[in-house]
């Protein structure tokens, strides 16, 4: 069926049916917010999980890894499953499974049970987000699609920001279990609304009938190959630093699996008639959007993880206050999402993306001014700047990525763009972790070179601090030992600041790299906020 027929088919041809499409947008955005929130809400609760389940911090970190891996592997299969068995039905199953798995995570009695439930939660969540986006794309006419994606963007971009704040508050004041249990009532509420408001799409029904008539079957081999590639890639990126990279047999094995599965998957999806991933999406337009979304995910997730980390580690903030430093940026992001949605009707997406990338690069550059005397307002402002730039990229890239695609490619495009955000987030965190670890060692080595008895600055500092501790009641011997320990702490703190500065320099470069990729995008017909599906 042609795109023209689909877009002119009236309300009955869309999941909205006779329902106001904005109600659909609110409902699916609520469910999406809940799912994306769970990518970051557990990060600040890991030490509580570690203590509550009597496991090491390294073992507890698998709570995050299992979710990311299972989430990534199901993304590629979500479009076919939605088309073959019904998008509404698939969405409801995913939403119900996610809600039940969330409650079970909150009730987990040991680490093994928590990881199993977390994996189920990741599988279900991985099917929800691209399906939500595809429902929105088909529920709205092209002229209003950009505004609809703005609401969806609020869920995707703001949820990772709210995650550390909410997770920190719940863990500090209640229990880590509530980081998962809060999904219960929200999920039930969203399920009821989706069940009654989202109607069965006639276009999707015709698509299912056509697939059955043609005898199209699920591409199991393609799915296993692509899922193996994405899953092993996520494992390598997420566990590499912890496992000491290629000194670990586990990382070597996962890397080999990643390379092999990619080598086998590439010719498979390019030559098979009905592959799990549609190779026809690999145009310059979609490819550039995919890479820019990876860069966006890298900055969004990396900053969301590292800003609270530096605040807690070097500025002694609690988890709650570290999260609160990010919250005003979330409010700016919400407002800017709707501004960006309006702009898609009058400004070419490529210029919006370039502008957003430039603003984000400026915010990353701002963070390279880290020093011990910075106050709460500095970090709030840094997040406000990010909140101005991210929506310009997110809305524009979502609109541009749909441009030129047929209606039957929306599910696939949604899955791939969301996979790009997930993979980019993992790559961003991986790069930042490695830069932080290696540069902290390097800076510490350079600083230690100046801590020698022959250094006048070291000698003067040692004498000054020895007198200070002596005035506090310590003996001269103890005062000198305390002064030496204090100098060592200052070296560690300074090397930490310098290493974080290097991390933000790298993130600045990542943001700047999105500008040329944005400018090579094709011009779209303005007013077709979702990228007209021709």
DSSP labels, 123-152 = HHHHHHHHHHHHHHHHHS-GGGHHHHHHHH
Alpha-carbon distance of 344 to 156, in angstroms, equals 18
Q: For residues 299 and 507, give the distance between their C-alpha atoms in angstroms, rounded to a whole number.
A: 6
C-alpha 428/C-alpha 435 separation (Å) is: 11
Helix or strand or coil: residue 201?
Answer: coil
- Residue 67 and residue 122 in contact, taking contact as beta carbons nearer than 8 Å: yes
Chain-centroid distance, C-alpha 2: 34
Share in percent of the chain as helix, strand, coil (round to 5):
80, 0, 20
Compute the distance between CA of residue 7 and CA of residue 143 in angstroms, rounded to an integer: 11
Q: Give the pLDDT of residue 529.
A: 41
CB 457 within 8 A of CB 450: yes
Give yes or no for a contact between 68 and 98, defined as CB atoms under 8 angstroms apart. no
Question: How crowded is residue 221: how many other Cβ atoms within 10 Å of its Cβ?
Answer: 14
Q: Give the three-class secondary structure for 454.
A: coil
State the residue for tokens 């915010």. Answer: 363
- What letter would DSSP give residue 140? S
The burial of 109, by beta-carbon neighbours within 10 Å (0-12 exposed, 13-18 middle, 19 or more buried), is given as exposed
- Which residue reads 């390097």 in tokens? 442
pTM: 0.74
Angle subtended by helix axes 145-173 and 21-37, to nearest 10:
40
Which alpha helices (DSSP H) does 367-449 contain, by range?
376-402, 410-448
pLDDT in tens, the chain (534 residues): 333 333 333 333 445 555 677 777 787 878 888 887 777 777 777 778 878 788 776 677 778 778 877 877 787 777 777 777 777 788 889 889 999 999 998 888 888 888 899 889 888 888 787 777 777 777 776 666 666 777 777 777 777 777 777 777 787 778 888 888 888 888 888 888 888 877 666 565 666 566 666 666 777 787 888 888 888 887 887 777 777 788 888 889 989 998 998 888 888 877 777 777 766 665 677 778 888 888 888 887 788 777 877 887 778 887 677 777 877 877 888 788 878 878 877 888 888 889 999 999 998 998 888 888 788 888 888 888 888 888 888 888 877 777 766 666 666 777 777 778 878 887 887 888 888 888 888 888 887 777 777 677 777 777 787 777 777 777 777 777 877 787 777 788 888 888 889 989 999 998 898 888 888 877 776 654 444 333
pLDDT for position 97: 92
Question: How far is 417 from 287, CA to CA, in rounded Å?
Answer: 10
Both structure tokens of 174? 């209640």
Angle of helix 145-173 versus helix 376-402 axis, rounded to 10: 140
Q: Is 527 exposed, middle or buried (0-12, 13-18, 19+ CB in 10 A)?
A: middle
Decide: 383 and 326 in contact? Cβ < 8 Å.
yes
Sequence length of the chain is 534
Contact 139, 201 (CB under 8 A): no
* Residues near 259 by beta carbon (within 8 Å), at least 6 away in sequence: none
Q: In Å, what is the CA distance from 9 to each residue of 6, 118, 410, 528?
A: 5, 41, 17, 17
Could you tell me the sign of the dihedral formed by the alpha carbons of 459, 460, 463, 464, in that order? negative
Q: Quote the crossing angle between the two packed helices 284-314 and 145-173, to the nearest 10°.
A: 20
Determine contact, residues 5/202, Cβ cutoff 8 Å.
Answer: no
Question: What's the CA gap between 439 and 445, in Å, rounded?
Answer: 10
């Amino acid at each position: 069926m042609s795109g023209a027929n689909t877009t002119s088919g009236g309300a009955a041809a869309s999941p909205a049916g006779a329902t106001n499409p904005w109600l659909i947008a609110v409902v699916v955005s609520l469910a999406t917010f809940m799912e994306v929130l769970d990518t970051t809400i557990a990060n600040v609760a890991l030490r509580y999980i570690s203590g509550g389940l009597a496991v090491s911090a390294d073992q507890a970190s698998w709570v995050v890894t299992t979710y990311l891996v299972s989430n990534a592997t199901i993304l590629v299969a979500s479009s076919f499953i939605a088309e073959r068995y019904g998008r509404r039905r698939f969405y409801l199953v995913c939403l119900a499974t996610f809600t039940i798995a969330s409650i079970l995570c909150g009730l987990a009695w040991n680490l093994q049970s928590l990881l199993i439930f977390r994996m189920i939660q990741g599988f279900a969540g991985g099917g929800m987000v691209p399906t939500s986006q595809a429902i929105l794309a088909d529920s709205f006419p092209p002229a209003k699609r950009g505004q609809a994606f703005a609401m969806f963007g609020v869920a995707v971009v703001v949820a990772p920001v709210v995650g550390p704040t909410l997770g920190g508050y719940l863990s500090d004041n209640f229990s880590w279990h509530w980081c998962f249990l809060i999904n219960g009532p929200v999920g039930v509420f969203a399920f009821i609304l989706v069940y009654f408001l989202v109607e069965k799409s006639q276009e999707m029904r015709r698509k299912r009938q056509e697939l059955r008539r043609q005898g199209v079957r699920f591409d199991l081999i393609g799915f296993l190959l692509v899922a193996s590639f994405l899953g092993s890639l996520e494992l390598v990126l997420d566990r590499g630093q912890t496992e000491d990279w290629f000194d670990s047999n586990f990382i070597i094995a996962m890397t080999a699996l990643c390379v092999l599965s990619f080598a086998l998957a590439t010719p498979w999806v390019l030559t098979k008639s009905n592959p799990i991933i549609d190779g026809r999406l690999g145009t310059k337009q979609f490819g550039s959007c995919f890479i820019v979304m990876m860069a966006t995910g890298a900055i969004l997730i990396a900053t969301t993880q590292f800003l609270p980390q530096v605040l807690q580690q070097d500025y002694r903030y609690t988890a709650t206050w570290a999260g609160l430093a990010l919250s005003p940026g979330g409010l700016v992001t919400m407002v800017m999402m709707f501004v960006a949605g309006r702009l898609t009707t009058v400004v070419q997406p490529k210029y919006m993306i370039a502008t957003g990338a430039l603003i984000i690069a400026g915010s990353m550059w701002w963070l390279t001014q880290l020093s011990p005397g910075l106050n709460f307002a500095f970090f709030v402002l840094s997040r406000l700047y990010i909140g101005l730039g991210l929506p310009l990229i997110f809305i524009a890239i979502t609109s541009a990525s749909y441009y030129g695609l047929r209606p039957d490619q929306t599910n696939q495009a949604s899955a791939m763009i969301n996979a790009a955000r997930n993979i980019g987030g993992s790559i961003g965190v991986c790069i930042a972790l490695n830069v932080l670890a290696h540069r902290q060692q390097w800076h510490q080595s350079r600083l230690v070179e100046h801590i020698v008895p022959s250094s006048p600055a070291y000698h003067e500092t040692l004498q000054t601090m020895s007198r200070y501790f002596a005035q506090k009641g310590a003996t001269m011997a103890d005062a000198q030992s305390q002064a030496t320990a204090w100098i060592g702490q200052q070296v560690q703190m300074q090397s930490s600041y310098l290493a974080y500065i290097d991390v933000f320099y790298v993130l600045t470069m990542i943001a700047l790299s999105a500008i040329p990729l944005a400018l090579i995008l094709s011009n779209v017909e303005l007013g077709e906020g979702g990228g007209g599906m021709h």
